[in-house]
Structures are given as C-alpha cells and as structure tokens.
Structure 1
Amino acid sequence: MTIIDVWMQHPTLRFFQHDMLASLLRWTRQEAPTEEIPIDATIAAMDEAGVERGLVCAWYDASGALISNDEVAGWVATYPDRLTGIASVDLRSPMAAVRELRRAVHDLGFRALRIVPWLWGLPPNHRLYYPLLAECVELGIPFMTQVGHTGPLRTSETGRPIPYLDDVALEFPELVIVGGHVGYPWTAEMISLATKYPNVYIDTSAYVSHRYPPELVEYMRGHGRRKVLFGSNYPMITPAQALARLDELGLDDEARELFLSGNARRLFPE
C-alpha cells in the first residue's frame, strides 16, 4: 500500500544545533550530529518504511533559516520522484514573507506553507500570519501548522486549536489547513475543528501509531477517515518507528489507505 509522509524535514547542522531541540533529543535518546547528513539518509529512512513520497519542509525562526527553502529545493531536485518541498518563511516582514512564498511555489515548485507557531511565540490567528494565509488561498496551497503541546522548551499556548485555529478556519473558509502533531492534549478540540470545517485536517506527526489518542483512532475508523493524514516528524521519529504497530489500530482497508496516502494525494496532488 502506498505511503506518503506529510511531515518530515531533512535536518541541517543548524537545525540540529538549535537549542529548541535539546529536550527532543533527550526524549528520543539521540545525539546531534557533528557534520552535515546526506539526503540519502532521509531516503533510506523512507525506504525502510516503504514511504513512496515525503513532504520535506524548510524551517525559519527569528534567527533566520534553520533549513532554507533553497536547501529543500536542492534535495527535491536530487530526488524529484520521492520528495516534495514545503515552504516556510520569516513572519516578521510580511511583504518579504509573501514574496518568498510566491517564489517557493512558482519558482521552486513547493506545494504548501508550514509555520510552526511556537518558533515565533505567535498563534496562527496573529495578524502577521494573515497576508500569508490569504496568499495560500490565492496560490491554491494548504497551510500546515503545529497543534498541541510543544515538545521543545517553549510555551504550548500557541498550539491550542481553540480559539486560534478556529479563528483562522472561520475567517479563511477556502484555506486548506493541516494541523500536525494530533493536537494533544487538546485532540478532541482538533477533531471538533476537522468535523466542523470542510477544509481542516489532522496529521499524526510526532506520534507513533500505538500512542495515538483513543479519540483520534475512533475518528480515523469512522466519519473522520477522510480527515487524517500520516506524518512521522522525521528525524525525531522515523517513518518505520511511527508505523511499527499500525495494525493495532484496527483500521479497515479503506480507512488505512486514506490515512497512509489517499488523503495526502487529494490535498497535495503531484
């Protein structure tokens, strides 16, 4: 069965050396590398789990590019049949951010925008997001964001689905929104938004399958089967680790196919 991983990043040394990752490295019992990791390592991790396509994202915060859009574009150019680029931008300069998003989509071929709110200390209903959200609608691309508590030692407040993402979905009804990291401990709120709004979705990144909240598993088995996408959060969790106990979820064939690839193909067509 085809698998698409919608939340990955190929890490640079700048990314791994950022202080935000200290707690995550501790949790996952990893050590930061001392030299750049080749893109082949990410492809190998995908191969291990049978992942056909990975959505790899840039990372920006107030210090600059931890993983730049151009670096992502270079990796995608190396493996165009396996990788899809996801843009990120510097929120602090709205017009420059909009122009960079346009460049990433028109010139680099990227398929979505991802902003991680805790990197900025700003929830997604903050005014600095709104020019970008409007541009996502005009470009016809999804807006991807993190929901739920923050693993790194930053505030979790920005990851609350209600009221922050609720406001965005209400004010931008045409915008496709994908909330990554399942929304825990507010998973029920995230499910309520995905049920309430036709264009709101959830991805399972940062969680191995046997640790999905029970309410999410029930949603995936039933009326939410077209609303949940697989993501790993590689390199913090590999796709193989994330999917190791997938059979325990009790998904029927349709729900399993939609979760692993069908919903992603619909939202991120090639």
Structure 2
Amino acid sequence: MIDLDKIRAIDIHTHAEEPCGCHADDGYDDLQSTMAKYFGAPWSHPPTITETAAHYRAQNIAAVIFPVDAERETGYRRYKNEEVAELAAENSDVLIPFASIDPHKGKMGVREARRLVEHYRIKGFKFHPTFQGFYPNERFAYPLYEAIQEAGAIALFHTGQTGVGSGMRGGNGMRLKYSNPMYLDDVAVDFPDMKIIMAHPSFPWQEEALAVAQHKPNVYIDLSGWSPKYFPPILVRYANSILRKKVLFGSDWPMISPERWLADFEKIDIKDELRPDILKNNAARLLGMI
C-alpha cells in the first residue's frame, strides 16, 4: 500500500517492459533501441518491472505503470496485463497498475477489461492511438470505454507527436494524425463520467489539448515525454492558472527518468504553492487515494 505521506511524488506515466530477450522474433527490441537513442536514455536494454519498482522505491516516488497492446497494428507481442498487475501487486508500495487493450479487439477486449478491474484491481487503461492505429472517437472503441466508465477506471491516451518510431523508415508505419487531442473532445462528451488523461505536451496541437482540458471537467493532462525545460510557454501559463488542478507529473520512464524530469521541473517558472499538486496531489485525487 502506498503511503502518501512518505512519497514525494506520483509519476502518472511509466511503461512496463518485458525481461531481456522476449522480443527477439518480432522487431520490438529494434524499436526500443531506436527510442532510447531518440530520448538519450542511459540503458542498453529497458528495465524490467521489478527493476522499475526498485528505482522508484529508491527515489521515494510512486508510479502508475502499464504496457501497450498494439499487437494488431505492429505485430509486437504485448506484455500480458495480468502479469503486469501481479508484479505491481508484489511492489504495491510504489506501483499502481494500469492495463492496455487494443479497442480493435471488440467484445473480447470488453470482457478482458471487466475481468481485469474485478480480479486484478486495475485502476486505468492506456491507449496509444498512433501505435494502435485508430482515432479515439471511432465508434468501435465505445464499448470498451463504456466498460471503463462503468468501472470508474481512468482512460489515459497518448497525444501529439511520439518518439515511438521516430527516425525509423516510414516512422515504423505509424501515423501521427490519430493522436490529435481534439478527437478526445468527442470521447469526453460521450463519456462524461470517465476520467480522461491526455498524455504529454501535445505537439503540434498543444492549444487544442489545453482547450479540451479547460472545457471538459473530466479531462486532465500529464506532462510526460518531454523534459520540462522544453514545455511550451502556454502550457506553463495554464499549469500556473486555470489548469492548476488538472496537470499531472509524468516522466515516460524508462525513456526519461523521474529524477531527470524533476530536476528540470525545478528550473521552470511554476508557482511554488502549485508544485505539490502537480507532483502528487492532483494524481492522488484522480486515483481516489485521497
């Protein structure tokens, strides 16, 4: 159980990685090594969940952790949601499990989502429209959103340009258009009781993301995937004012470490009185921890 009084922050955005060698037949290791170069990540192979937990425990930070199910679009085998949940449960002092289900899986995905919430205490679901190849407001995804809303779980969507596939031939077949945050405006209207997190500064659609988060009370923004020193000025301005209760610390581990992100966050112009909310309290409220 996470002790909110003892941790200094909640990282709302970290990725679960499989043990070394599990992707030798499907190209995923090549994708990961290219991403590591893009982000300047200091590892030769991404850390396991157990290693991630140890790192966050040493940093005195809790973390939401999830896989990404993009089997249909990429051919990369997914990390089983059950295994992620089980490993998170073994490290429940620092890890909070989210799952990932490709919405193309239809009724099978809906059944899985309900089972994961009921039996594995999954708190939310990660979607990556560019990686999974769908617009978030496509109607075939709606039965899965209905299950998430009914369970009181959170839906976290990648938005904006992505480092995944960046620099690879044809961008590794990934189309950026799917991750325009404006498509989430429809989702927020049609599922007003589902908490939605728009992940990352949404380049090149930052103003669209801010507009949706300001207009829809169930929409939040996480600040992962970028060093804070590169945040657009308008994002900092909104974080300091009307969205001060709706922006969330996220690193995008293992591509960006939480200590690197936090060190850069110290240097940007965020009001001192708002830092505890951005780093911990906003996420704790959203996750139902307070």
TM-score normalised to structure 2 length: 0.85
1:27 matched to 2:33? The reply is: no
Change (3 A) 1:219 1:60: same
Residue 171 (structure 1) shift: 1.8
Unaligned runs of 5+ in 1: none
**Residues in 1 aligned to 2:47 and 2:254: alpha-carbon distance in whole angstroms:** 11
| 1:97 aligned residue | 109
| 1:181 aligned residue | 200
Q: What root-mean-square deviation, in Å, do the aligned CA atoms of Structure 1 and Structure 2 show?
A: 2.0
Give the total of aligned pairs.
266
Is this contact kept in 1: 2:68–2:78, CA < 8 A? yes
1:41 matched to 2:41? The reply is: no
Deviations 1:208-251 (A, max 9, x none): 12111111111111111001001111001111111112222232
Residue 140 (structure 1) shift: 0.6
Change (3 A) 1:67 1:216: same
Choose the corresponding residue for 2:245, options 215, 220, 226. 226
1:254 matched to 2:273? The reply is: yes
Is this contact kept in 1: 2:181–2:209, CA < 8 A? yes
**Residues in 2 aligned to 1:161 and 1:238: alpha-carbon distance in whole angstroms:** 25
Unaligned runs of 5+ in 2: 1-6, 166-170
Is this contact kept in 2: 1:232–1:239, CA < 8 A? yes
Residue 176 (structure 1) shift: 1.1
1:117 matched to 2:129? The reply is: yes
**Residues in 2 aligned to 1:150 and 1:245: alpha-carbon distance in whole angstroms:** 20
Choose the corresponding residue for 2:286, options 255, 260, 267. 267
| 2:168 aligned residue | none
Deviations 1:116-173 (A, max 9, x none): 11122111011221111111111111111101112222211011112x1111112222
**Residues in 2 aligned to 1:143 and 1:22: alpha-carbon distance in whole angstroms:** 28
**Residues in 1 aligned to 2:192 and 2:47: alpha-carbon distance in whole angstroms:** 40
Residue 94 (structure 1) shift: 1.0
Residue identity in the other structure for 2:51: A
SS in 2 for 1:114: strand
**Residues in 2 aligned to 1:113 and 1:207: alpha-carbon distance in whole angstroms:** 21
Residue identity in the other structure for 1:25: A
1:75 matched to 2:87? The reply is: yes
| 1:60 aligned residue | 69
TM-score normalised to structure 1 length: 0.91
Residue 45 (structure 1) shift: 2.8
Residue identity in the other structure for 2:10: I
| 2:254 aligned residue | 235
**Residues in 1 aligned to 2:48 and 2:190: alpha-carbon distance in whole angstroms:** 41
**Residues in 1 aligned to 2:31 and 2:127: alpha-carbon distance in whole angstroms:** 15
| 1:132 aligned residue | 144
| 1:4 aligned residue | 10
Change (3 A) 1:54 1:15: farther
**Residues in 2 aligned to 1:192 and 1:24: alpha-carbon distance in whole angstroms:** 30
Residue identity in the other structure for 2:107: M
Residue 41 (structure 1) shift: 2.1
SS in 1 for 2:69: strand
1:161 matched to 2:181? The reply is: yes
**Residues in 2 aligned to 1:182 and 1:130: alpha-carbon distance in whole angstroms:** 25
Is this contact kept in 2: 1:15–1:67, CA < 8 A? no
Change (3 A) 1:49 1:186: farther
